[in-house]
Amino acid sequence: MKRWFLWLFALLTLAGAAVAQSRPPVVLAAASLQESMNAAADAWAKRGHVRPTLSFAASSALARQAAAGAPADLFVSADVEWMDDLDRRGLLASRSRTNLLGNRLVLVAPAESKLRVALQPGVDLSRALNGGRLAMADPDAVPAGRYGKAALTRLGAWERVAPSVVRAENVRAALALVERGAAPLGIVYATDAKASAKVRVVGIFPAASHPPIVYPIARLKASRSVEGERFRRFLTSPAGKAIFVRYGFSAR
Protein backbone atom coordinates (compact mmCIF):
# COMPACT_ATOMS: atom_id res chain seq x y z
CA MET A 1 0.00 0.00 0.00
CA LYS A 2 2.83 2.36 0.90
CA ARG A 3 4.63 1.53 -2.36
CA TRP A 4 1.43 2.21 -4.33
CA PHE A 5 1.04 5.59 -2.58
CA LEU A 6 4.63 6.57 -3.36
CA TRP A 7 4.15 5.56 -7.00
CA LEU A 8 0.97 7.65 -7.24
CA PHE A 9 2.67 10.63 -5.60
CA ALA A 10 5.57 10.43 -8.06
CA LEU A 11 3.16 10.16 -10.99
CA LEU A 12 1.19 13.22 -9.85
CA THR A 13 4.41 15.17 -9.32
CA LEU A 14 5.59 14.34 -12.83
CA ALA A 15 2.19 15.22 -14.25
CA GLY A 16 2.24 18.55 -12.44
CA ALA A 17 5.71 19.29 -13.76
CA ALA A 18 4.60 18.41 -17.29
CA VAL A 19 1.66 20.79 -17.04
CA ALA A 20 3.95 23.53 -15.74
CA GLN A 21 6.28 23.05 -18.68
CA SER A 22 3.53 22.92 -21.29
CA ARG A 23 1.72 26.10 -20.25
CA PRO A 24 2.90 29.40 -21.73
CA PRO A 25 5.27 31.28 -19.45
CA VAL A 26 3.61 34.18 -17.65
CA VAL A 27 5.33 37.57 -17.72
CA LEU A 28 4.40 40.40 -15.36
CA ALA A 29 5.52 43.53 -17.21
CA ALA A 30 5.36 47.27 -16.52
CA ALA A 31 2.53 49.02 -18.36
CA SER A 32 4.94 51.08 -20.45
CA LEU A 33 6.21 47.89 -22.12
CA GLN A 34 2.96 46.96 -23.86
CA GLU A 35 3.93 47.40 -27.51
CA SER A 36 7.56 46.37 -27.16
CA MET A 37 6.95 43.29 -25.00
CA ASN A 38 4.20 42.12 -27.34
CA ALA A 39 6.63 42.49 -30.24
CA ALA A 40 9.24 40.49 -28.32
CA ALA A 41 6.67 37.77 -27.55
CA ASP A 42 5.72 37.61 -31.24
CA ALA A 43 9.38 37.30 -32.24
CA TRP A 44 9.84 34.51 -29.70
CA ALA A 45 6.80 32.65 -31.04
CA LYS A 46 8.14 32.93 -34.60
CA ARG A 47 11.19 31.03 -33.42
CA GLY A 48 8.95 28.06 -32.70
CA HIS A 49 8.26 28.64 -29.01
CA VAL A 50 4.95 28.93 -27.24
CA ARG A 51 3.98 32.59 -26.99
CA PRO A 52 4.25 33.92 -23.42
CA THR A 53 1.19 35.21 -21.60
CA LEU A 54 1.74 38.89 -20.86
CA SER A 55 0.17 40.78 -17.96
CA PHE A 56 0.63 44.57 -17.93
CA ALA A 57 0.03 46.92 -15.00
CA ALA A 58 1.87 49.34 -12.76
CA SER A 59 5.08 47.78 -11.42
CA SER A 60 3.78 48.35 -7.89
CA ALA A 61 0.62 46.32 -8.59
CA LEU A 62 2.56 43.54 -10.28
CA ALA A 63 5.09 43.30 -7.45
CA ARG A 64 2.26 42.98 -4.95
CA GLN A 65 0.69 40.24 -7.08
CA ALA A 66 3.99 38.35 -7.19
CA ALA A 67 4.43 38.74 -3.43
CA ALA A 68 0.92 37.37 -2.93
CA GLY A 69 1.80 34.22 -4.87
CA ALA A 70 0.35 34.97 -8.30
CA PRO A 71 1.39 32.22 -10.75
CA ALA A 72 4.01 33.93 -12.89
CA ASP A 73 7.48 33.27 -14.21
CA LEU A 74 9.11 36.61 -15.03
CA PHE A 75 8.81 40.12 -13.62
CA VAL A 76 9.93 43.23 -15.52
CA SER A 77 9.70 46.36 -13.40
CA ALA A 78 9.97 50.01 -14.44
CA ASP A 79 12.23 50.73 -11.47
CA VAL A 80 14.69 48.92 -9.23
CA GLU A 81 12.78 49.61 -6.01
CA TRP A 82 9.91 47.20 -6.67
CA MET A 83 12.38 44.55 -7.84
CA ASP A 84 14.38 45.17 -4.66
CA ASP A 85 11.19 44.59 -2.66
CA LEU A 86 10.74 41.11 -4.13
CA ASP A 87 14.45 40.43 -3.72
CA ARG A 88 14.29 41.25 -0.01
CA ARG A 89 11.38 38.84 0.32
CA GLY A 90 13.46 36.07 -1.25
CA LEU A 91 11.11 35.73 -4.23
CA LEU A 92 13.64 36.04 -7.07
CA ALA A 93 15.49 33.13 -8.63
CA SER A 94 19.19 33.21 -7.90
CA ARG A 95 21.35 35.05 -10.44
CA SER A 96 18.39 35.75 -12.74
CA ARG A 97 18.12 39.48 -12.08
CA THR A 98 19.65 41.94 -14.52
CA ASN A 99 19.03 45.48 -15.75
CA LEU A 100 17.32 45.28 -19.13
CA LEU A 101 16.34 48.74 -20.38
CA GLY A 102 16.41 52.48 -19.83
CA ASN A 103 13.97 55.28 -20.71
CA ARG A 104 13.43 59.07 -20.61
CA LEU A 105 10.78 61.12 -18.84
CA VAL A 106 8.80 63.66 -20.87
CA LEU A 107 5.94 66.13 -20.61
CA VAL A 108 3.17 65.60 -23.16
CA ALA A 109 0.14 67.55 -24.34
CA PRO A 110 -2.65 66.69 -26.81
CA ALA A 111 -1.33 66.45 -30.38
CA GLU A 112 -2.97 69.71 -31.45
CA SER A 113 -1.39 71.72 -28.62
CA LYS A 114 1.12 74.43 -29.58
CA LEU A 115 2.60 74.58 -26.08
CA ARG A 116 6.31 74.33 -25.39
CA VAL A 117 7.69 74.03 -21.86
CA ALA A 118 11.32 74.54 -20.89
CA LEU A 119 11.78 72.06 -18.06
CA GLN A 120 14.43 73.87 -16.07
CA PRO A 121 14.79 75.04 -12.46
CA GLY A 122 12.01 77.46 -11.55
CA VAL A 123 9.62 76.27 -14.27
CA ASP A 124 6.02 77.32 -13.56
CA LEU A 125 3.86 74.42 -14.71
CA SER A 126 0.80 75.96 -13.07
CA ARG A 127 0.86 78.70 -15.69
CA ALA A 128 1.19 76.14 -18.47
CA LEU A 129 -1.74 74.16 -17.07
CA ASN A 130 -3.92 77.29 -17.12
CA GLY A 131 -6.33 75.86 -14.55
CA GLY A 132 -6.20 72.31 -15.92
CA ARG A 133 -4.88 69.10 -14.37
CA LEU A 134 -1.48 67.44 -14.61
CA ALA A 135 -1.84 63.72 -15.33
CA MET A 136 0.78 61.40 -13.91
CA ALA A 137 1.03 57.94 -12.45
CA ASP A 138 0.57 57.78 -8.67
CA PRO A 139 3.70 59.52 -7.33
CA ASP A 140 3.53 57.59 -4.07
CA ALA A 141 3.85 54.12 -5.59
CA VAL A 142 4.11 53.86 -9.38
CA PRO A 143 7.62 54.26 -10.88
CA ALA A 144 6.66 56.83 -13.55
CA GLY A 145 4.95 58.91 -10.88
CA ARG A 146 7.87 58.68 -8.49
CA TYR A 147 10.30 59.71 -11.23
CA GLY A 148 7.96 62.58 -12.11
CA LYS A 149 7.65 63.82 -8.54
CA ALA A 150 11.42 63.63 -8.09
CA ALA A 151 11.96 65.67 -11.26
CA LEU A 152 9.39 68.31 -10.35
CA THR A 153 10.83 68.56 -6.84
CA ARG A 154 14.34 68.99 -8.22
CA LEU A 155 13.11 71.73 -10.56
CA GLY A 156 11.32 73.50 -7.70
CA ALA A 157 7.87 72.97 -9.22
CA TRP A 158 6.28 70.22 -7.11
CA GLU A 159 4.77 72.28 -4.29
CA ARG A 160 2.97 74.63 -6.68
CA VAL A 161 1.71 71.98 -9.06
CA ALA A 162 0.85 69.17 -6.58
CA PRO A 163 -2.76 70.39 -6.02
CA SER A 164 -3.35 70.10 -9.77
CA VAL A 165 -2.10 66.53 -10.08
CA VAL A 166 -4.53 63.78 -11.05
CA ARG A 167 -3.07 60.46 -9.94
CA ALA A 168 -3.50 57.64 -12.44
CA GLU A 169 -3.12 53.96 -11.61
CA ASN A 170 -0.27 53.57 -14.13
CA VAL A 171 1.58 55.54 -16.78
CA ARG A 172 -0.69 54.42 -19.61
CA ALA A 173 -3.74 55.64 -17.69
CA ALA A 174 -2.01 59.03 -17.35
CA LEU A 175 -1.31 59.01 -21.07
CA ALA A 176 -4.98 58.23 -21.81
CA LEU A 177 -6.10 61.28 -19.84
CA VAL A 178 -4.03 63.52 -22.09
CA GLU A 179 -5.12 61.66 -25.23
CA ARG A 180 -8.77 62.30 -24.35
CA GLY A 181 -8.14 65.95 -23.52
CA ALA A 182 -9.10 65.37 -19.89
CA ALA A 183 -5.73 66.83 -18.87
CA PRO A 184 -3.78 69.46 -20.82
CA LEU A 185 -0.44 68.04 -19.69
CA GLY A 186 0.89 64.69 -18.54
CA ILE A 187 4.16 63.14 -17.40
CA VAL A 188 4.97 59.86 -19.15
CA TYR A 189 7.93 57.99 -20.55
CA ALA A 190 9.33 58.93 -23.94
CA THR A 191 8.31 55.49 -25.21
CA ASP A 192 4.69 56.09 -24.20
CA ALA A 193 4.64 59.34 -26.15
CA LYS A 194 6.18 57.59 -29.15
CA ALA A 195 3.47 54.93 -29.05
CA SER A 196 0.62 57.47 -29.28
CA ALA A 197 -0.35 59.66 -32.24
CA LYS A 198 -2.72 61.60 -29.97
CA VAL A 199 -0.06 63.39 -27.93
CA ARG A 200 3.10 65.34 -28.58
CA VAL A 201 6.17 65.92 -26.44
CA VAL A 202 6.29 69.51 -25.20
CA GLY A 203 9.23 69.11 -22.82
CA ILE A 204 11.94 66.64 -21.84
CA PHE A 205 12.97 66.35 -18.21
CA PRO A 206 16.73 66.62 -17.62
CA ALA A 207 18.14 63.18 -16.87
CA ALA A 208 19.81 64.59 -13.76
CA SER A 209 16.47 65.76 -12.33
CA HIS A 210 15.37 62.26 -11.32
CA PRO A 211 16.89 58.85 -10.52
CA PRO A 212 18.02 56.85 -13.57
CA ILE A 213 15.08 55.10 -15.22
CA VAL A 214 15.99 51.42 -15.16
CA TYR A 215 13.90 48.38 -16.07
CA PRO A 216 15.23 45.27 -14.28
CA ILE A 217 14.07 41.76 -15.19
CA ALA A 218 14.17 38.61 -13.07
CA ARG A 219 12.71 35.13 -12.92
CA LEU A 220 10.48 34.48 -9.94
CA LYS A 221 11.74 31.80 -7.56
CA ALA A 222 8.44 29.91 -7.66
CA SER A 223 8.64 29.50 -11.44
CA ARG A 224 9.13 25.99 -12.79
CA SER A 225 8.92 26.98 -16.44
CA VAL A 226 11.92 26.13 -18.58
CA GLU A 227 10.39 28.25 -21.35
CA GLY A 228 10.14 31.16 -18.95
CA GLU A 229 13.88 31.09 -18.34
CA ARG A 230 14.56 30.71 -22.05
CA PHE A 231 12.39 33.73 -22.80
CA ARG A 232 14.23 35.72 -20.13
CA ARG A 233 17.52 34.90 -21.79
CA PHE A 234 16.11 35.91 -25.17
CA LEU A 235 14.93 39.26 -23.80
CA THR A 236 18.37 39.99 -22.36
CA SER A 237 20.18 38.94 -25.54
CA PRO A 238 21.29 41.49 -28.18
CA ALA A 239 18.45 40.30 -30.45
CA GLY A 240 15.88 40.76 -27.69
CA LYS A 241 17.13 44.18 -26.61
CA ALA A 242 17.14 45.35 -30.24
CA ILE A 243 13.36 44.93 -30.29
CA PHE A 244 12.94 47.29 -27.36
CA VAL A 245 15.36 49.80 -28.85
CA ARG A 246 13.10 50.01 -31.92
CA TYR A 247 10.34 51.21 -29.60
CA GLY A 248 12.48 53.95 -28.10
CA PHE A 249 14.03 52.26 -25.08
CA SER A 250 17.76 52.25 -24.43
CA ALA A 251 19.55 48.97 -23.82
CA ARG A 252 21.31 48.53 -20.49
**Which residues of the chain, if any, have pLDDT below 70?**
1-22
Q: Which residues contact 193 (CB under 8 A, 6 or more apart)?
A: 106, 108, 175, 199, 200, 201
SS3 category, 250:
strand
Q: Which of 139, 146, 135, 115 is nearest to 180 (CA)?
A: 135
pLDDT in tens, 153-182: 999 999 999 999 999 999 999 999 999 999
Taking the C-alpha atoms of residue 39 and residue 25, their distance in angstroms, rounded to an integer, is 16
Domains 2-102+214-251 and 105-209 share a fold: yes
Domain boundary assignment for the chain: 2-102+214-251, 105-209
Judge whether 177 and 198 are in contact, CB under 8 Å: no
Query: Over pLDDT 70: what percentage of the chain?
Result: 91
Architecture of the domain made up of 2-102+214-251: 3-Layer(aba) Sandwich (3.40)
pLDDT in tens, 55-84: 999 999 999 999 999 999 999 999 999 999
Judge whether 123 and 155 are in contact, CB under 8 Å: yes
pLDDT given for residue 23 in this prediction? 79
Fold of the CATH domain 105-209: D-Maltodextrin-Binding Protein; domain 2 (3.40.190)
Taking the C-alpha atoms of residue 1 and residue 42, their distance in angstroms, rounded to an integer, is 49
